[in-house]
Amino acid sequence: MIDRLTSVVIVGARGRMGQTLLRTVMESDTMTLVGAVDRTGGPGLGQDAGRLCGMPEVGVTVSDLMEPPRGAVVVDFSLPRATERNIQRCLELGAPLVLGTTGLSSEARTLLEEASKELPIVYAANFSVGISVMIRLSELAAKSLGPDWEAELFELHHRHKRDAPSGTALRIGKAVAAANGRRFDDVAVMSREKADHARTSGEIGLMSLRGGDSVGEHSLMFFGDGERIELTHRAMDRSIFARGALRAARWVAGRAPGLYDMVDVLDLGRL
């Protein structure tokens, strides 16, 4: 039984993901929108958040200042250049954070780890519940099949995506490598264009495709002699990420400080 609403502040409110998050919160019976934040300049600032995303007015104005009230969870899907500032602001105000921004700098990652000593933070490259289960299945498959099976991965995203490979592809690749006791950086192969040798044992190949309006597709293949296993996840609607992120927001509210991911949120267990 739900005994309270989770208060949420959406950062990156004017973006495609931000507007999807706004709509999902407004349609939810377990959450309430208490803030909508985006960078200074551009259209939308000062506008009601409901009107911004094509919904009825909700009495929350889009602002360029993050001021989460006590007990609110910040959900940040803005740009990497704003991440460090947003983490610092959450630290100042003691606000739990759900972070979905990808392509973070090493400095931002270090700050994230330091901040998690004082705040509960859920960080994931992909908040889809289906992808989270796929990552867990990838670990289980890699460990069960062993290092003699060869792993190859490809991902497809829309033409506007900036980072490649996707953060999700890297997460899957790292899960496969770790399941067999390997460092991903030692075995990852992003291109074979100039390679003058056959595939080496232990490689994990990654291929990135960009085009059209694909929300996201990830396929992992394990090759054995005479057989092949494929795990595929296709995202058809951006709302799946919003629903997963908001599930994480409800989960993280009131948690002890720490750096969590969707494995924790979904209680999938670890190898």
**CB distance 173 to 184 below 8 Å:** yes
Residue 108 neighbours by CB under 8 Å, 6+ apart: 80, 83, 84, 87
161 is catalytic: yes
Distance between CA atoms of residues 62 and 14, nearest Å: 9
Catalytic residue among 117, 143, 157, 197: 157
Report the interhelical angle of 106-115 vs 80-93 (nearest 10°): 20
Q: Which residues of 77-114 are buried (b: 16+ CB within 10 A; e: fewer)?
A: bbeeebbbebbebbeebebbbbbbbbbbeeebeebbee
Catalytic residue among 143, 161, 197, 218: 161
Q: Is residue 157 annotated as a catalytic residue, yes or no?
A: yes
C-alpha 246/C-alpha 76 separation (Å) is: 11
Using DSSP's 3-state secondary structure scheme, residue 238 falls into coil
Point out the residues that are catalytic.
157, 161
